[in-house]
Amino acid sequence: MLSKQLFFLTSDQLCAYQWERGRLSACTPFPADRTGMDAFAAYLADFEDRPAYLLADMIEEDFQRQLLPHVGGRARRGLIARRINLLYRDTPFRHALIQGRSSVGRRDDKVLFSALTNPALVQPWLNVIAHVGVPLAAVYSASFLSMLLVRALALSQEHLLLILRDSGGLRQTYFQGRHIKFSRLTALAADAELAGAVAAETERMQQFLTSTRLTGRGDLLHTVVLAGREDLPALETACTDGPEVAFHFLDYASAAQRLRLPAPENVADPLLLALVARHTPASHYPTGEPGRLYRLWQARMGLYSGAGAVLAASLAWTAFNVWHMVDDTRTAKRLAAEAPQFEARYRAVMATMPQAITRTANMKAAVTIDETVRTQGPHPLPFMALVSAALERAPAVRLNALDWQVASAAPAARAPGQPAPMGQASDAPAPLYSAELGLPSPAPQILRVEGEIDVPENDIRAVLAAMNAFAFDLARSPHIAVDIETPPVDVRSNVRLAGKTGLGAEPRKPTFALRVAWKP
């Protein structure tokens, strides 16, 4: 847990505490005069890099409850800002707390406005903090921090009055349900009797709550009093239960034990400050220039944390790489030691084997060439499948003959009587070129398709349309080119059209021939 500075400010003094390792130091008091502020500045010089939290407990604190139209987002923020400026124009220490919605009418928002109406009691101390350069994280109100104490102690009465004694006096805070509604601070003289003051102030508070209609007739006000253990007998004698009030007493040591906090002194200051150190709620009042220093401090701590994380990751990565390097070095040495043994075993095994026909590299090359020829060599089946699919879609076409061949870039065959090339016997077969075997790429294939058209007699248009449809269907396949070698009807303008039609004509199916080229 980070170290923190905690300040408890009252009208006449400021008590400074240091929070380290979950423990709160003793109070260092500074009076509210020039001498006290100079001493406070010298005190802060030793802790200028430690964030600070200021808790103000003033008599000059005002509370007002109002209903505002229920809106959201920017409109709500603007409405609250205008209303709080109207209520507390002369102080920057203002706070607004939304406490649900009204149950009647248009269900307006319930808002509790509060402010420290005498900023001259707080601002000089903030100026000293800003002058020294201490980052101020938050400025709290003791009244609103009482909500944190009530929730931590699990006090859930419908009408609850919490009374505790701190350095400023006797703090009385009224809660309705889980919401704070009103709080007041009564100054106590040093020799004042606590029990009599609690009894008198509870009666006044009950009358005020009834007059402001915060409590009604028959409502029971549960009054919880936090005090030192030695004060409890006198309190139990002076404070007696009535028809509309019930007292509950709790000593500071028991409360600190329930909250798992260090046992405080005979005042509530350490208890509230320890809650702040543990939970650090959001600031109730603006922090001004020291707050800007705190944001810079947060950015600096974030950079330090990021740099530390990067350094830790770099060290971990370096250690991982070093470990791998050591392991790889060890493995390389082991393999280097095992290599001669395996080499000797290989030679011994090879010595017992018969003489190989050729070298291993040649055998590997032969297997590779065989696999390449098997996968890329010219085979008519895929080509025939394409043509068969086109024939299925052309019912008028009847197949007569197929002539399949592989397109070769080899030299032309030797003519009869032509001498054989040098080094080749005259009766030796023609050499087989690698392009014909699909090396290094699949060889183009050519298919001559001869067929006839089965359409009604003397329908020349149907004959030409059936052949053209078949040719176009073949040409749509990838990497296929189709040429018409012999059309079923020669319709060229320079060719004489001859034949017989009619009843005396001899029935004959029109035939055609296509040259189909395919590059797999």
- Name the domain boundary from 317, 338, 353: 353
162: domain CATH number is 3.30.420.40
pTM: 0.61
H-assigned helices in 98-175 = 123-132, 142-152
Q: Determine the pLDDT at residue 478.
A: 86
Residue 65 vs residues 103, 150, 157, 282, 343: alpha-carbon distances, Å: 15, 21, 21, 21, 95
Question: What's the pLDDT tens digit per position in 304-324?
Answer: 999 999 999 999 999 999 999
As to burial, measured by CB atoms within 10 angstroms (0-12 exposed, 13-18 middle, 19+ buried), residue 378 is: buried
One domain for residues 243 and 384: no
Q: Determine the pLDDT at residue 129.
A: 93
- Name the domain boundary from 271, 286, 301: 286
One domain for residues 237 and 252: yes
Q: Determine the pLDDT at residue 431.
A: 61
One domain for residues 259 and 295: no
10 lies in some domain: yes
Q: Determine the pLDDT at residue 409.
A: 55
One domain for residues 304 and 278: no
CA–CA dist 178, 333 (Å, integer): 73
One domain for residues 54 and 155: yes
Print burial letters for 64-94: b (CB count within 10 Å at least 16), e (below 16): eeeebeeeeeeebeeebeebbeeebeebebb
Q: Determine the pLDDT at residue 15.
A: 93
**What is the domain range of residue 402?**
376-408+436-492+507-520
One domain for residues 262 and 316: no
Q: Report the C-alpha dihedral over residues 245, 110, 65, 80, rounded to 10 degrees.
A: 150
CA–CA dist 234, 232 (Å, integer): 6
Question: What's the pLDDT tens digit per position in 252-305?
Answer: 888 888 887 776 667 888 888 888 888 888 999 988 888 888 888 889 889 999
One domain for residues 254 and 306: no
One domain for residues 267 and 155: yes
400: domain CATH number is 3.30.980.50
DSSP secondary structure of 387-410? HHHHHHT-TTEEEEEEEEEE---S
Closest CA to 162 of 198, 124, 115, 189: 198
Closest CA to 508 of 457, 460, 451, 467: 457
SS3 63: strand
Q: 10-residue block means of pLDDT along the chain (520 residues)?
A: 88 92 88 93 90 92 91 89 91 91 86 93 93 92 90 87 89 90 86 85 90 87 89 88 90 83 76 88 88 88 91 94 94 93 90 77 82 78 88 89 78 57 58 64 86 81 87 89 85 60 62 88
CA–CA dist 10, 7 (Å, integer): 10
One domain for residues 479 and 518: yes
Neighbours of 209 (CB within 10 A): 20
CA–CA dist 277, 294 (Å, integer): 16
Number of separate domains in the chain: 3
One domain for residues 158 and 228: yes
Q: Determine the pLDDT at residue 424.
A: 56
One domain for residues 313 and 223: no
